[in-house]
Structure 1
Amino acid sequence: MRLRGAFTVGVAGAMVLAGCSSTSEPDSPPVDASALAASVTEGGVVGHLEQLQTIAENNNGNRAAGTSGYDDSVDYVAQVLEDKGFDVETPEFEFHNFDVRTEALRSGDRDFEVRALAYSPSTGPDGITARLVPAPKDESPGCEVTDYDGLDVTGAIVLVNRGVCPFAAKQQLASERGAAGVIVVNNEDGPMNGGTLGDPDVGKVPTGGVSKADGAALEQAGGDVTLTLDTTTESSTARNVIAQTKTGSTEDVVMVGAHLDSVPDGPGINDNGTGVAATLETAVQLGGSPDVDNAVRFAFWGAEELGLLGSEAYVNSLSEDQRNDIALYLNFDMLGSENAGYLAYDGDNSDNVGEGPGPEGSAGIERTFTEFLQNNGVAADGTDFDGRSDYGPFIEHGIPSGGVFSGADETKTPEQSQKWGGTPDVVYDENYHSATDTLENVNRAALAKNAAAVAYAVGVYAESLAGPNGVPTGADREKARAAE
């Protein structure tokens, strides 16, 4: 699961659609959701985690996108799926990995918090020292070349308010007038998180962002400032793994996904080996030619930790008709956190927190998970569609989505601890994005429960999209998505 507000990336190109016909005959009895859930055992799931752990150990301790550890992970997953009779593709996409070594800003004897905008050119490790020149605060600050009429910004660092035009336009115009750097002032309280110039090719001068309060303090102080944004941007490629059953309607595809990459700092066994292993074992138990009404398409995404790049590349590669053939998307990212929560994406926004409800049909998906967990002794809570995992590109296109989640860097409440066990007032996963995200620190009991929920939901929707927990089909689907 990617870190909220991480600086990353753009996709330069991507690939393919697994769009198979449903001419093959089933090679198994009709799928039963409860039986499929029972077949996905802790032992089967852990077996895949052992393989992913070994891959990381053999490849500098991680499985990050663009590394040999990630490539070996792709090969492992693809081989398992091919052996079970799936049609498998590994489409490649290009991505830009933006890395920040140092972010620093000093005025006089005071240090300010500054965030590099993604794809900002580098100042180098020593930074740049220059006079600070505020741009006019008009209705379109720094968005018109005339904003700098009569203002000498040659060799200066321009302080400009956020708003109206893209960050890229602000820094380009300042650069054209000779500025050496740009600091963008947030238009709301808090730091400038997640800002981007959009593409490596548009970056002209080092560009960072500061909070509204710090912007005011910098302007009041005036004089020279030293800005250090030591950054690099590297282009690379990664692959997704896409596998689809040879049976079931390809006009009502049940899509199931988990990101396959780790962060560079560790092997990524909970984040997200657990989601991968549960999804992969569900595919193994389902088989490549099951007796289902709806085709099931499994996806293992690359470069999620760099900004949902693999899933974004895939969804953007599809035509509108191809996206409409996807009935729903199920996402699984972290299922065995050490201090585990039991969380289902809040499809109906009943918690009234954050980003609001998912697309029409997401509420039914949430109920499918919560009812299954409830019947197995677990009272799940909701969790917001906060944009931190690969459902993001799907809900942007109105595709109903859902999934279960055991928590990342948020804190377990005393009430949750009383319901589920574990330690209150401690984060769900203290090993998140670290070298200790290993199999040893996976909560196997939570993983087993969540993996069963994965398989159950796949079985439910592979059998039917109808019923009180169903999702729109046919003309209702087109109408629902047109309204998004």
Structure 2
Amino acid sequence: MSRSTWKRVGAAAAAAVLLGGLVAAGPAQASSGNNSVKDVTKAVTLAGVLRHLVAFQAIAKLSGDTRASGTPGYKRSADYVSTLMRAAGYKVTRQPFTFNFCTENGSSFAQTAPTPTTYVDQTDYDVLDCSGSGTATGTVVPVDLQLTTPNTSTSGCEAADFVNVTGRIALLQRGGCPFGQKAANAEAAGAIGVVIMNQGDTTAPDRQELFLGTLGSPVGIPAIGISYPQGVAFAGTAGLTLTITTDTVADVRETENVIAESRYGNPDEVVMSGAHLDSVPEGPGINDNGTGSAGILETALQMRNQKTTNKLRFAWWGAEEANLVGSTFYVNSLTEEEHAKIALYLNFDMIGSPNYTFGVYDGDDSAATGAGPGPAGSAQIEAVFQKFFAGRGQATAASDFTGRSDYGPFIGTGIPAGGLFTGAEVEKTADDVTKWGGVAGAAYDPCYHQACDSFTPERDGADKALYAQLRKAYKNKLVGNINTFALDTNADAIATAVATFAKDTSSIPPRPAAIAAARAAAPTQNTHGDWLN
């Protein structure tokens, strides 16, 4: 994108926010004759998506550099989306709910014996969201660890796992139940702190390396996460003593989902698309998940005059970063009749990562890794995306249904789902570089869950040398923390999928009458206990 074009986009989008109050930028004009999938895809442009991202950045700037749920930045983001969608003729509902607001102000972590060592935040450890605040110093007690293949850990899931932990720090292993359950059990058993290591059940980076997790609900003791190798090292160290210090905030706040429905289409056949609107408290969340939110917003605006066969419903979820609270609240609030009318759900969470991969949710489990396939119909959704990328000559990666984004409550209750994901904290491989370019050994999004997920990443703390490498590798396709090629391509993929299913959902098999039983039996997390954001 040229400098002059970028300036025009920025000026138009920045007009959406003025003196702390919201002034909606008018939707780009789309012809009511844009009825083909090709026409809709062409109407959704990079400039159109970027204007929303600049608005989100301006909103964050007015709001303490965050758009987290429970903050003024989220409220202004919801106002922005709602105003544009109402102006475009959609029926907009703002669905309020309460959630546990958790944030971290600072932390430290050190080994005090037998080898004094200071560990680095975000490199060696991460404070789990909703950790308690305070300092814990004590000897370490490994709790029911499984350190040999297949590492089928349920460490800390049962009260009986904890022996002689009173006044000590519990070393737990990921797997089998939510992180919050493990930490709460440790606290109830008298532990003064919790360290949760990754599971190590596969050699994949996301099961070995440092992970970013949430407890879901506040606990009263410090709780951190570490990598699997570091956990193994701790477990093998006799006389290990650690000190964990956390400065955190946890309280109950109100936020909302924004739901918009089209004027046209069969109300008994709803094609639903969603993206979480909130950022983490640490930053503006321009990639995570300004990109997904902007992508479905621009698609909705360009389809506002479409007399579609099926009803379109777009959702901007609140409190995703607090453990999928908004989407879970929405799904749980549906009656059986309302639930049955949703033909499918499309999820878009991070679609412009600077060191991207073109991830497509693996609806048929063709990769045969991690979680199994999605509900019947998910494979057909995946096929639409695969056809799109094949037409663009772009390779794709099978993105596993790990349960870490808002499709979770939908697939957990039998609704087929699919979508796109350009990667977060996992490092790019040399094989990835042959497919999509970029920098091997760097995260798909080096600013994931940080203040530098913005339009000024280096100024906000990003590695300047790395971002110089990325700009060179991608021939200046980066705008802030966004890869514009990835964003532009994925925005077109969103438009293609939404327009395709708006016309015809006959490829999606009808759900069985026993769906009510499936909903009642649905787990609240996947088998790995993946409450990750």
Shorter-chain TM-score: which interval? Answer: 0.7 to 0.9
Distance verdict in 2 for CA 1:213–1:445, change over 3 Å: closer
Partner amino acid, structure 2, of 1:36: V
Is the CA contact (8 Å cut-off) linking 2:256 and 2:326 kept in structure 1? yes
Is the CA contact (8 Å cut-off) linking 2:378 and 2:418 kept in structure 1? yes
Q: Distance in 1 between matches of 2:260 and 2:73?
A: 21
Q: Of residues 95, 104, 107 in structure 2, which corresponds to 1:102?
A: 107
Partner amino acid, structure 1, of 2:509: P
1:471 matched to 2:508: yes
Distance verdict in 2 for CA 1:185–1:68, change over 3 Å: closer
SS of residue in 2 equivalent to 1:305 = coil
Aligned ranges for residues 63-212 of structure 1 at < 5 Å?
63-100=67-104, 101-102=106-107, 104=109, 106=111, 108-110=113-115, 119=130, 121-122=132-133, 124=134, 127-128=135-136, 143=159, 156-157=167-168, 166-167=181-182, 170-171=185-186, 174=189, 179=190, 181=192, 199-200=217-218, 203=219
1:414 matched to 2:430: yes
1:318 matched to 2:334: yes
TM-score (norm 1): 0.76
Q: Of residues 258, 262, 287 in structure 2, which corresponds to 1:241?
A: 258
Is the CA contact (8 Å cut-off) linking 2:279 and 2:285 kept in structure 1? yes
Partner of 2:56: 52
Partner amino acid, structure 2, of 1:472: P
Partner amino acid, structure 2, of 1:264: P
TM-score (norm 2): 0.70
Q: Which moved more, 1:160-169 or 1:405-414?
A: 160-169
Is the CA contact (8 Å cut-off) linking 1:413 and 1:424 kept in structure 2? yes
Partner amino acid, structure 1, of 2:41: A
Partner of 1:458: 498
Aligned ranges for residues 272-311 of structure 1 at < 5 Å?
272-287=289-304, 290-311=306-327
Partner of 2:453: 437
Is the CA contact (8 Å cut-off) linking 1:308 and 1:390 kept in structure 2? yes
Q: Distance in 1 between matches of 2:196 and 2:423?
A: 33
Q: Distance in 2 between matches of 1:414 and 1:336?
A: 20
Is the CA contact (8 Å cut-off) linking 1:362 and 1:402 kept in structure 2? yes
1:41 matched to 2:40: no
Partner amino acid, structure 2, of 1:233: A
Is the CA contact (8 Å cut-off) linking 1:345 and 1:402 kept in structure 2? yes
Is the CA contact (8 Å cut-off) linking 1:65 and 1:238 kept in structure 2? yes
CA radius of gyration, larger in: 1
Cα displacement (A) at 1:187: 11
Is the CA contact (8 Å cut-off) linking 2:171 and 2:197 kept in structure 1? no
Partner amino acid, structure 1, of 2:253: S
Cα displacement (A) at 1:227: 5.5
Q: Distance in 2 between matches of 1:142 and 1:384?
A: 28
Q: Distance in 1 between matches of 2:225 and 2:89?
A: 51
Q: Distance in 1 between matches of 2:225 and 2:57?
A: 38
SS of residue in 2 equivalent to 1:71 = helix
Distance verdict in 2 for CA 1:156–1:94, change over 3 Å: same
Structure 1 stretches lacking a partner, 5+ long: 1-26
Distance verdict in 2 for CA 1:350–1:160, change over 3 Å: closer
Q: Distance in 2 between matches of 1:29 and 1:69?
A: 36
Distance verdict in 2 for CA 1:107–1:276, change over 3 Å: same
Partner of 2:120: none
Cα displacement (A) at 1:321: 3.1
Q: Distance in 2 between matches of 1:50 and 1:164?
A: 41
For residues 255-301 of structure 1, the C-alpha deviation after alignment (integer angstroms, 9 at most, x for no partner) is 101111122333222222221111011111111x6322211110011
Q: Distance in 2 between matches of 1:416 and 1:140?
A: 36
Cα displacement (A) at 1:378: 2.0
Q: Distance in 1 between matches of 2:82 and 2:157?
A: 51
Count of residue pairs the alignment pairs up: 437
Structure 2 stretches lacking a partner, 5+ long: 1-30, 118-123, 146-154, 201-207, 456-478, 523-533
